[in-house]
């Protein structure tokens, strides 16, 4: 077995590999860019080697420097993680030539499956079901349109070397095919250095289901059941689960056997994933094979009790697989939510900056733990006070739960999301909570178009309706009482009137956009220490009383307690938003900002005029921090609504800004190559 391995990656996957290596008694070497010099994976590893400046092309994609780091530290093997160089045939070959064991498949397997055009041909030869399409590289956008017409819309335009949703578009007409080809080619060239594009038929109402395979150097290959990955946004997976709530046992077996046949055809040695698109009648077609560890591998680990990273290391060391197909378990139900640094209420724009507070929910399952126990696991590469950089992807953490069945797993996930505290950057937790609460998701009747169908016009606060908004209001009043009692305790020795009875009647002002506030009369009942406090609200639906009891400590963002005897976890933040007196309450993805007032104060507050925000409609503002890679207009130019104005690159994705109305450009305020901040003006219209 290896004594020391290098992890040629960063973030949560680097931490994940370190956890297993430590369990196996193997020393680890981290590599890092200047942006990651204080990162969690660097602190966890036994040694660390600097690669270069923050951009990936100047650090994590530098094969020579990574090889040198192995030699410098005496690392015998290298784990590539996912992304970066993990599926780079030349890099794997180079490792072998330098006498460094590549903890992944052999270079010939990566070559065969890494090229989507070649892999489709090979899949056909192996007897794997494939989608109709054009399996040769396409020369031009015009040629792409011609091919798409012959196949029949809709079609999927894909980069041959693509992955992770980059270099991929769905086209429903000639215009989308023409523009999609150019966009895919640019993304593929920038991300993978390979701009070859192919086209295949897009299966309508499809589900994205993938089979985890594991092979060794002795010809043994098994499949470890399937993962349901149909909940996607812009072809990026959002929620994954295992098993799938859709396929039958017969379909599972057929897909698994085809995945094994394909793996054997390329002499696959390591963990890999064969991805299929599955139609509404459970007819399935090969999409691609990912010759690496998948982001969503933890859900497979929890239902099988296998540590996939450990198996990768053991296979790379020449060991045989420890199990046959008949030994593969499928126990319980696992769900993974990807927690990303993005603002779901601003069209999921990237959010970068300092993690002022990072407090994951309590977990009883750990990375590298080979178990099928029920519980919660958090895989992350960040920590309290760390930073989310614009140079890398937006993932903050992966939240994984394991339940006895799907309903139990969903309940565990909802509670875990409630307890996941992230401050300083925006996160997609409200969106994840909304998805879990959606009846169609709960029923298991969804496909890859689920998010596009139900959130076609973006994600709004009203898309996360709370089952009882009065609970949020009652909790705000309860927290206000807690703050008052604490203040009285602190001031008591200096304030003669501290012994007077605290106020029991209030008016709760729920702050709304544009000054549209809601005022709710509230009353707190008498209570003995350690007993629930009755909070009564006069809602439009009538009087409602909650009996609340919580273990509240100063400075805590997370509140755990009982409401009418039922346990709950929520988050409370004082001074949030624009009002320093407001109490922010978050539960089940829903959020309110409220101020608890004396009734007379509330009467006067109603009379306060609302000051409207300044009119910025004449400006095109940067919606995110990022690099301005293109400005498509110039002063004096007439621009029509919908025309391209600028392109911003952030977190490895291109974001196109369009004009919202007709106008004439007065001034271009930012130049190509400039690093932009949020709401920085790019273009001003006359």
Yes or no: say if 334 and 402 are a contact pair by the CB < 8 Å rule: yes
Residues 6+ apart with CB under 8 A from 674: 627, 628
DSSP result, 382-435:
--TT-EE-TTS--EEEEEEEEESSHHHHHHHHHHHHHT-EEESS--SHHHHHHH
Of 133, 138, 88, nearest to 113 by C-alpha is: 88
Of 487, 508, 511, 483, nearest to 497 by C-alpha is: 487
Instruction: Based on the residue annotation, tell me whether 288 is a catalytic residue of this protein.
Output: yes
**C-alpha distances in Å from residue 550, one per residue of 151, 269, 417, 564, 591:** 61, 52, 18, 11, 19
Q: List residues bridging with 403 in a β-sheet.
A: 333
Three-state DSSP class for residue 212: strand
Q: In whole angstroms, what is the distance from residue 597 CA to residue 390 CA? A: 41
For 448-498, the three-class secondary structure string (H helix, E strand, C coil) is CCHHHHHCCCCCCHHHCCCCCHHHHHHHHHHHHHHHHHHHHHHHHHHCHHH
Out of 288, 336, 342, 654, the active site residue is 288
Give the N- to C-terminal CA distance of the chain in Å, as an integer. 69
Q: In whole angstroms, what is the distance from residue 153 CA to residue 142 CA? A: 15
Joined together, the tokens standing for residue 260 give 């094994």
Yes or no: say if 31 and 49 are a contact pair by the CB < 8 Å rule: yes
Q: In whole angstroms, what is the distance from residue 314 CA to residue 322 CA? A: 10
Give 486's Cβ-side CA count (13 Å radius). 10
Torsion of CA 66, 70, 76, 82, to 10 degrees: -20
Determine how β-strand 101-102 pairs with β-strand 77-79.
Answer: parallel
Catalytic residue numbers, as ranges: 288
């Amino acid at each position: 077995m290896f004594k020391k391995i290098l992890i040629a990656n960063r973030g949560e996957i680097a931490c994940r590999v370190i956890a297993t290596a430590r369990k196996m008694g193997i020393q680890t070497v981290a590599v890092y860019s200047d942006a990651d010099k204080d990162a969690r994976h660097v602190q966890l590893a036994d040694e660390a080697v600097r690669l270069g400046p923050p951009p990936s092309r100047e650090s994590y994609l530098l094969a020579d420097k990574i090889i040198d780091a192995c030699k410098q530290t005496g690392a015998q093997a290298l784990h590539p993680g996912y992304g970066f160089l993990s599926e780079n045939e030349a890099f794997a070959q180079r490792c072998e030539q330098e006498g460094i064991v590549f903890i992944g498949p052999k270079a010939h397997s990566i070559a065969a499956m890494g090229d989507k055009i070649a892999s489709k041909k090979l899949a056909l030869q192996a007897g794997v079901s494939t989608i109709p399409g054009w399996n040769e590289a396409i020369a031009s956008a015009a040629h792409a349109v011609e091919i798409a017409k012959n196949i029949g819309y809709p079609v999927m335009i894909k980069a041959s070397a693509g992955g992770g949703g980059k270099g991929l578009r769905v086209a429903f007409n000639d215009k989308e095919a023409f523009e999609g080809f150019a966009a895919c080619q640019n993304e593929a060239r920038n991300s993978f250095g390979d701009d070859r594009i192919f086209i295949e038929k897009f299966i309508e109402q499809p589900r994205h289901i993938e089979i985890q395979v594991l092979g060794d150097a002795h010809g043994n290959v098994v499949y470890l059941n399937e993962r349901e990955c149909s909940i996607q946004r812009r072809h990026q997976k959002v929620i994954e689960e295992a098993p799938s709530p859709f396929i039958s046992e017969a379909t599972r077996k057929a897909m698994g056997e085809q995945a094994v046949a394909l793996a054997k055809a390329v002499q696959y040695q390591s963990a890999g994933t064969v991805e299929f698109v599955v139609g509404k009648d459970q007819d399935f077609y090969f999409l691609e094979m990912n010759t690496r560890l998948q982001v969503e591998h933890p859900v497979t680990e929890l239902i099988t009790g296998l540590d996939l990273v450990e198996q990768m290391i053991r296979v790379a060391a020449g060991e045989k697989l420890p199990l046959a197909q008949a030994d593969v378990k499928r126990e319980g139900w696992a769900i993974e939510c990807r927690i990303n640094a993005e603002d779901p209420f601003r069209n999921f724009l990237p959010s970068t900056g300092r993690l002022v507070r990072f407090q994951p929910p309590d977990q009883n399952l750990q990375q590298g733990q080979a178990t099928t126990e029920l519980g919660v696991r958090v895989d992350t590469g960040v920590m309290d006070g760390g930073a989310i950089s614009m140079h890398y992807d937006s993932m903050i953490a992966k939240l994984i739960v394991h339940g006895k069945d799907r309903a139990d797993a969903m309940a565990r996930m909802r509670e875990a999301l409630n307890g996941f505290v992230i401050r300083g950057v925006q996160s997609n937790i409200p969106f994840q909570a909304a998805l879990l609460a959606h009846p169609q998701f709960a029923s298991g009747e969804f496909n890859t178009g689920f998010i596009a169908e139900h959130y076609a016009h973006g994600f709004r606060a009203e898309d996360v309706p709370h089952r009882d908004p009065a609970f949020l209001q009652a909790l705000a009043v309860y927290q206000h009482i807690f703050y008052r009692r604490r203040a009285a305790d602190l001031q008591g020795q200096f304030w003669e009137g501290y012994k007077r009875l605290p106020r029991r009647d209030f008016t709760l002002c729920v702050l709304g956009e544009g000054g549209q506030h809601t005022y709710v009369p509230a009353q707190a009942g008498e209570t003995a220490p350690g007993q629930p406090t009755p909070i009564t609200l006069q809602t439009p639906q009538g009087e409602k009383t909650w009996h609340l009891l919580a273990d509240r400590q100063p400075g805590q963002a997370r509140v755990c307690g009982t409401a009418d005897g039922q346990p709950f976890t929520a988050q409370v933040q004082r001074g949030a938003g624009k009002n320093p007196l407001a109490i922010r309450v978050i539960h089940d993805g829903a959020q309110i900002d409220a101020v608890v007032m004396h009734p007379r104060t509330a009467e006067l507050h109603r009379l306060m005029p609302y000051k409207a925000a300044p009119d910025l409609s004449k400006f095109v503002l940067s919606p995110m921090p990022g690099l301005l890679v293109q400005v498509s207009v110039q002063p004096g130019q007439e621009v029509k609504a919908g025309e391209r104005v600028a392109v911003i690159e952030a977190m490895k994705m291109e974001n196109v800004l369009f004009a919202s109305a007709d106008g004439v450009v007065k001034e271009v305020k930012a130049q190509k190559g400039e690093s932009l901040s949020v709401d920085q003006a790019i273009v001003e219209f006359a």
